Structure 1
């Protein structure tokens, strides 16, 4: 089976030394730079939406243009790894997918926050209100359940067979297209403009809840190659909760 794991990036970076990992330059249509990577602006694409869609422009490109049997999306600095922090290789991925349908990121635990309060403190609560209103009534049930949870799969990262990715994207992107016209980002800074990408992380969790009886997922470790400062990240979580200034 042909395997293609796309590594979303907006800059030149050291990439995994394996032919299954393919760098893809996201937002290439609006970039003057050329790193020699595949661009998300060729074939059927939404490259111009990268400022709000983030890595989802790579996901869309993968959905519409890849004919591999096993596909995945990771980030230039975040990769699925084993217990020794080695990047998952092709044999390991195929072995896992012989038992499970999808590899997803291990859930982040917010401890003192619910999914709803965390988003509201880090972004804008109205985004969530608009998202709920965009969903079909049956999906709103899963949305409401997710908002009360304290754990979340993040990063819009996963690996699975292409037919399952197709099913997810056929559900996801029509929702995002409706959201685009409902959310006014004119007053958002460059970080908050990534709203569609942020909301898609929540939508992935909703879709997994919907599919829980028909697919088996496995949570896998994600290693950040730039080594996140978890103490500062946790402290900023507390500060946001109480509406104080973030530590830079």
Structure 2
């Protein structure tokens, strides 16, 4: 039994990762060979992939594999965002040597923690002209946002990029145990742990998926799919999940951040 199992979700063949310690999981329209887990069989939401992105596989794993999971740690990454060994965080890494640097065993520093996240990214720092162009509705409510970076919160950032009011509308549909806390989180914080990447224990993963997908199911009844388009809203459900994940794992687990890297040419 492996102590760590990481699924790498991809919408394209990634031959340089085939044969690595990663378990490759396919989403999207491309045809994949037997080296890739398929998310369009058994209990699945493959028809929603355009809107759910990598969550399409996360749902499939939850519904079809998690009960049989034997690994101590289970995690998720993406074809261009890969968890790395601690010792590899400053190394030059390319397609030829990536297999030597992929995280393939629980790091000793994880002792005492029960979840691993990406480091936080800031939502503040947008150019003033962009804030006026895309965030004018927020600025009418609170013009001091222009003068104080701390007010460039997760909520403001989401309103600018993924539809004004959509985040709050979604939070209002959330289960009571998280609704007020999550609202407070997005209103007061200007950073979050991104990319829907995490590593955790089976029991915690199951709880996370249950809370996430029950909420998104309610959101579907309000937002639907027909009006979701372009960069801003096509993947609205993935954007909502990304913000919720950062909040949820901090509320319910003892977490630690771990190195990962974005590969443009992967």
Question: Which category of TM-score, normalised to the shorter sequence, fits these structures?
Answer: 0.7 to 0.9
Q: 2:224 matched to 1:224? A: no
Q: Select the residue among 109, 114, 120 that pairs with 1:107.
A: 120
Contact 2:82 2:262 in 1 (8 A): yes
The superposition leaves residues 61-104 of structure 1 with CA deviations (integer Å, 9 ceiling, x where unpaired) of 2222332322111000001223225744323x253443321111
For 2:229 and 2:39, the matched residues in 1 are separated by 24
How much has 1:117 moved relative to structure 2? 0.9
Structure 1 counterpart SS, 2:7: strand
How much has 1:188 moved relative to structure 2? 2.9
Moved more, 133-142 or 164-173: 133-142
Q: Which residues of 2 match residues 94-173 of structure 1 at below 5 A? A: 95-112=108-125, 113-147=152-186, 148-173=188-213
Cα 1:17–1:32 change in 2 (3 A) is closer
How much has 1:15 moved relative to structure 2? 4.5
Q: Which residues of 2 match residues 83-102 of structure 1 at below 5 A? A: 83-85=89-91, 87-91=101-105, 93=106, 95-102=108-115
For 2:19 and 2:118, the matched residues in 1 are separated by 21
The superposition leaves residues 92-142 of structure 1 with CA deviations (integer Å, 9 ceiling, x where unpaired) of x25344332111111101233210111111110232122111113341222
How much has 1:19 moved relative to structure 2? 4.7
Cα 1:137–1:9 change in 2 (3 A) is same
Match of 1:201 in 2: 242
Q: 2:74 matched to 1:76? A: no
- Matched positions, count: 221
Match of 2:64 in 1: 65
**Bigger relative contact order, structure 1 or 2 (CA pairs below 8 A, ≥6 apart):** 2
TM-score between the two structures when normalised by the length of structure 1: 0.80
Structure 2 unaligned spans of 5+: 94-100, 126-151
Structure 1 counterpart SS, 2:205: helix
Structure 2 counterpart SS, 1:79: strand
Q: 2:31 matched to 1:33? A: yes
Contact 2:21 2:102 in 1 (8 A): no
Q: Select the residue among 167, 174, 179 that pairs with 2:219.
A: 179
Structure 2 counterpart SS, 1:103: strand
The superposition leaves residues 130-182 of structure 1 with CA deviations (integer Å, 9 ceiling, x where unpaired) of 21111133412222222121111111101112111011111111001111111
Q: Which of these two proteins has the greater Rg computed from alpha carbons?
A: 2
Structure 1 unaligned spans of 5+: 228-248
For 1:43 and 1:185, the matched residues in 2 are separated by 23
TM-score between the two structures when normalised by the length of structure 2: 0.75
For 1:117 and 1:76, the matched residues in 2 are separated by 29
Match of 2:10 in 1: 9
For 1:98 and 1:202, the matched residues in 2 are separated by 26
How much has 1:51 moved relative to structure 2? 1.0
